[in-house]
Structure 1
Amino acid sequence: MQLSIIILNYNVRYFLEQCIKSVQSAIEGIDAEIIVVDNNSQDDSAEMMKNLFPQVCYIANQENLGFPKGNNIGVKRATGKYICILNPDTVVAEDTFHKLLALFERKAKLGIVGCQLIDGRGGFLPESKRGIPTYWRSFMKVSGLYRLFPSSVLVNGYYASHLPADKNGPVEILVGAFMFMPRKLYLELGGFDERFFMYVEDTDLSYSSLKQGYENYYYADTTIIHYKGESTDKDLEYVKRFHRGTQIFYEKHFRKSYVFDVLMRLITFVFLFSKQKKKGDKVATVSHTIVVSENPKVRERIEKTLQRSLQRVESLHGLEEIIKEKKGINGDLVEIIFDGDYLTNKEIITFMHKNYRSEIIYKIKPVNSLFLIGSNDSNSKGSVIILEE
């Protein structure tokens, strides 16, 4: 077996369906397996897996065991030479795994490899590549001061500013939403440290790989969607878990600093409240919706569900010409819906990234599905719209 893809699910049934379908397209021609571990989801994830993906290995935990333990359980069942830890709220391109397997054939002593991640609006996610979170870097990040000098290695070392987003190169830390590595390395490192529950365990694993003499690597030549907001609620529980994770990491790898700990507590709570939407904030409305599909019935079904008129185009080139003119007016938005039965995931991802704009939002109708899925930014929850029959 060449490759095992481990997907840990928790209450994101529709995102999981889209993710698995994208993975199935991406492993064509590869001797690969998909392993889904479910952390006691209370939605109909289990029924969906049984009905749509009976051939996929599905492990149902009886409680939420957290991110590290859930993934460790999946890797124990894996038989691939390589593994990919993959979030369920992601969409991979058809050539993603092929490119990464080829990369490992070319480069020796590779450790963990990540790729370029974009959010549901097409914007680059800076956590795709990061530096070791020293006290100074963490302070710059959590305080938001890194935004003042985003290209400064000194101020923005947390997000590995030495390496442009579109360039390949060694980095220190990679994000747990997508981690590709030899299974032998994962086992050598002991997998994710189960003292963590969620957050910072990816930093710990990446740093452990570096300490063993491996080169972690950011590979920008393939891009995937990570809706992110679907799996990350910026609430009090998030703050507690993130703070606890940083404590475990620093106690494990650095000398504990009580002054820094108090400072981080203060700043993280400020961060929490800054993420909350203010009451009375104007919510932008959709002024124009475009469906990219060759099938008129897809447009009719979406129109019936949304109860508004849509424009249909059959080419991405034609779509680009339209959006040059259809820009948001007075804060309104242009909505683009991709038909996954007509376009490849790579075509969709490439278009979203190339045409990232504040006035454009995207939704996808996954292949052989009757729902739309999308996320308007990297912080808000993703949305799912069930299409009427």
Structure 2
Amino acid sequence: MKVSVIIINYKTPQLTIACINSIYENTTFDKEFEIIVVDNGSHDDSIELISREYPSLKLVDSKINLGFGKANNLAAKYAKGDFLFFINSDMIFIDDSIRKLYDFYIENESKLQLGVLGCKLEDQLGNINNSGGGFPLVNHDIREIYIAVAERFLKRNFAPRDPYDFNRAFFEIDYVIGADMFLRKQLFERAGGFDDHYFMYYEESDLQMGIRKLGFKNYIFTGTSIIHLEGASSKSEDNGRISNFKRITLAESRNYYFKKNDRNHYTKHIIFDMVLNVTRLFNRKYSIRENIKFVKQNIKSY
């Protein structure tokens, strides 16, 4: 078996089925790949719908929501492929991307010291979507906050130019977005898999920083594209804002990531973040109770 494609489903059965359909319609590997779906404690009709559509599919039923990293770790235990391809349920394949990623990896693995490989992600109109970026660091995080404040008050856009040239055949990147991570299973296991401390967010950056420390590099291959319905697999139920749960989870993951991977600047992060906590108490998108809960949980995770 060459490739194990891993999809985590959480209350998105129609998206997951559409994703699987697009894989089978566009992949020429025949029996050289498998698809593994973990239902992440959806407690809806997801398992019934997916198994009815694909009765022979390898479907793992997690009775609870394990979060992104743990669910993918669970799926990896069932994987028989030499390579793992972690994708989101909101991906639509329009090309033979699995074969093309596999061929590029095999041809360039030694020469490029290949770790994680991703591809060009697009929206439904063909516009380039987020495919990855630079490793999160405390100083970068603080600078982005200053830029956001300046943009708000000065009514100007200070966003930096995109440093990635998608006209090139491939380019190196710090981390590939978690929506499409292609890598050797052996390397995934050597790096320890996803860190179980994360429930959601920052886990792909953390894993790929570990892979970088092992001497490998991460790349985007532009020779194939996948449509990413960005955010469709994790839409908020709160009318355009993220839920307080996700806001808390994001903050907790950020704190843990900085504590683990940017320890020299972690004290600076706490001091700056404590100042921000004061303003967060008055965030009008959330109730007073929600703001207090967020700040308490955020401080607790320091």
Normalising by structure 1, report the TM-score. 0.63
Could you tell me whether the CA contact under 8 Å between 1:118 and 1:225 is conserved in 2?
yes
Matches for 1:154-303 after TM superposition, within 5 Å: 161-167=162-168, 168-230=170-232, 231-233=234-236, 234-255=242-263, 256-264=265-273, 266=276
The offset of 1:166, in angstroms, is 3.7
For the pair shown, the structure with the greater C-alpha radius of gyration is 1
Structure 2 gap segments, 5+ residues each: 152-156, 237-241, 287-302
Q: How many residues align?
A: 265
Q: What is the alpha-carbon distance in structure 2 between the residues aligned to residue 187 and residue 274 of structure 1?
A: 44
Alignment correspondent of 1:15 = 15
Give the Cα separation in 2 of the matches to 1:106 and 1:18: 31
Matched-pair contact (CA < 8 Å) for 2:40–2:65: yes
Give SS of 1:65's match: coil
Per chain length, whose mean CA-contact separation is higher, i.e. which structure has more relative contact order (CA < 8 Å, sep 6+)? Answer: 2
The 5-angstrom pairing of residues 361-380 of structure 1 reads none
Per the alignment, residue 62 of structure 2 pairs with 61
Alpha-carbon contact 1:166-1:221 (below 8 Å) kept: no
Q: Within 5 Å, give how 1:84-95 maps onto structure 2.
A: 84-95=85-96
Other structure's SS at 2:29 match: coil
Structure 1 unaligned blocks of 5 or more: 152-160, 277-389
1:150 aligns with 2:153: no
Aligned to 1:131: 134
Confirm or deny that 1:114 pairs with 2:118. Answer: yes
Q: Tell me, in whole angstroms, the C-alpha distance in 1 between the residues paired with 2:230 and 2:24.
A: 21
- CA distance in 1: counterparts of 2:74 and 2:14, whole angstroms: 23
Which protein has the bigger helix share? 2
Pairwise CA distance, 1:144: 4.9
Shift of 1:143: 5.0
- Structure 1 residues 201 and 232 mapped into 2: Cα distance closer, same or farther (>3 Å)? farther
C-alpha spacing 1:243/1:32, structure 2 compared with 1 (3 Å): same
C-alpha spacing 1:37/1:142, structure 2 compared with 1 (3 Å) = farther
**Which runs of 4 or more aligned residues in structure 1 lie more than 6 Å from their structure 2 counterparts after TM superposition?**
272-276
The alpha-carbon distance between structure 1 residues 74 and 143, as it changes in their structure 2 partners (threshold 3 A), is farther
Q: Is the CA contact (8 Å cut-off) linking 2:4 and 2:35 kept in structure 1?
A: yes
CA distance in 2, matches of 1:275, 1:22: 37
Query: Is contact 1:85–1:180 with CA below 8 Å preserved after alignment?
Result: yes
Q: What does the per-residue CA deviation read over 1:314-361, in whole Å, with 9 as the maximum and x for residues that have no partner? A: xxxxxxxxxxxxxxxxxxxxxxxxxxxxxxxxxxxxxxxxxxxxxxxx
Q: Secondary structure at the match of 2:176?
A: coil
Residue 123 of structure 1, CA deviation? 3.3
Shift of 1:257: 2.4
1:40 Cα deviation from its structure 2 partner: 1.1
Corresponding letter in the other structure for 1:148: F
Whole-Å Cα distance in 2 between the matches of residues 51 and 14 of structure 1? Answer: 12
